[in-house]
């Protein structure tokens, strides 16, 4: 059985933080866990174990980090839309000979009454918007808002986790708030802004309350499809990740 002393979590998600907590509970001091964040969110919530913040500087530099920190297992628990860091993680783990596990949330499944319209990317979402409504609630992040900039006849409500570093490229009511959001909050937001259509990434995981609020209000949701996941061993939940680790390295 291979030895497991040092584990690196690529984080920035609720699952990554939950995994750090679950590993601390299960393995205690026998396992040194470091969580890596890109540094996009100011004041991230504390997690057990060590924290490193900021990009590695590409896959070769990440491979150097894996070697010098003597990481035994890399768990990629980044967001399904963070495709670049996941690709770098695969390349770096390969180059350094480090084991890698992907923790990837299950997809959201539509419920009866959901009016989801799939779009391959933000440009396709922008092209579909004008025939679906005049006020769009957009939760796809600060990057990529430029895709909607030419839709001058529409109103936008854009929700972001933190104030944008640069002014958004379109006129929008900005809502700065961190998830999770309760159904009541989401209902109120849709009503207050007279939202007619929602634009969301198909992030998956726990079903977002905005989807239920949109269904109740009969609103269409443009769902941006996920990028293809990186190949390799993968689990869909924190419990499955802990079980995978215990099975491969031995339960302690």
Q: Is 82 in the site for ligand NAP (CB under 6 A)?
A: yes
- For 80, the 3-state DSSP assignment is coil
Using CB under 6 A as the binding rule, the residues of this chain from 57 to 76 that contact ligand NAP are 57-58, 62
Q: Is 208 in the site for ligand NAP (CB under 6 A)?
A: no
Q: Is 56 in the site for ligand NAP (CB under 6 A)?
A: yes
Q: Is 36 in the site for ligand NAP (CB under 6 A)?
A: yes
The CB-of-12 to ligand NAP minimum distance in angstroms stands at 2
- Of positions 7, 20, 33, 78, contacts ligand NAP by CB under 6 A: 78
Q: Please identify, using beta-carbon distances, which residue of 15 and 196 lies nearer to ligand NAP.
A: 15
Q: Which stretch binds ligand NAP (CB under 6 A): 56-64, 106-114, 170-178, 243-251?
A: 56-64
Task: Sketch the per residue contact string, 114 through 153, with ligand NAP: x for CB under 6 A, - otherwise.
Answer: ---------------------------x------------
Cα 212 from Cα 111, distance rounded (Å)? 9
Cα 63 from Cα 97, distance rounded (Å)? 9
Q: Which stretch binds ligand NAP (CB under 6 A): 50-58, 101-109, 112-120, 230-238?
A: 50-58
Burial class (CB in 10 A: 0-12, 13-18, 19+), 19: buried
- Cβ contact 47:35 at 8 Å: yes
The CB-of-112 to ligand NAP minimum distance in angstroms stands at 27
The CB-of-221 to ligand NAP minimum distance in angstroms stands at 16
- Mark out the alpha helices in the chain (DSSP H runs): 14-27, 59-68, 83-96, 122-128, 183-192, 209-216, 238-249
Q: Is 33 in the site for ligand NAP (CB under 6 A)?
A: no
Burial class (CB in 10 A: 0-12, 13-18, 19+), 152: exposed
CB atoms within 10 A of CB 224: 20
HSE at residue 93, side-chain half, CA atoms within 13 A, is: 25
């Amino acid at each position: 059985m291979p030895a497991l002393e040092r584990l690196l979590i690529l984080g920035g998600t609720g699952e990554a933080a939950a995994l750090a907590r679950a590993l601390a509970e299960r393995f205690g001091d026998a396992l040194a866990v470091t969580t890596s964040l890109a540094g996009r969110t100011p004041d991230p919530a504390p997690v057990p174990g060590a924290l490193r913040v900021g990009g590695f500087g590409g896959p070769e530099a990440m491979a150097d980090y894996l070697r010098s920190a003597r990481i035994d297992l890399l768990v990629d628990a980044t967001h399904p839309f963070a495709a670049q860091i996941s690709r770098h993680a695969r390349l770096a783990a390969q180059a350094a000979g480090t084991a890698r596990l992907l923790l990837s949330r299950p997809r959201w499944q539509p419920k009866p009454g959901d009016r989801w319209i799939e779009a391959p990317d933000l440009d396709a979402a922008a092209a579909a918007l004008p025939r679906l409504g005049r006020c769009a609630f957009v939760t796809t992040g600060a990057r990529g808002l430029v895709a909607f900039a030419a839709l001058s006849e529409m109103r936008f409500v854009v929700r972001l986790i933190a104030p944008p570093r640069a002014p958004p490229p379109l006129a929008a009511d900005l809502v700065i708030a961190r998830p999770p959001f309760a159904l009541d909050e989401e209902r109120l937001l849709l009503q207050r802004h007279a939202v007619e259509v929602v634009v969301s990434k198909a992030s998956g995981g726990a079903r977002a309350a905005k989807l239920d609020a949109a269904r109740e209000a009969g609103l269409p949701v443009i769902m941006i499809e996920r990028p293809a996941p990186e190949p390799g061993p993968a689990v869909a939940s924190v419990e499955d990740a802990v079980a995978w680790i215990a099975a491969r390295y031995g339960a302690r």
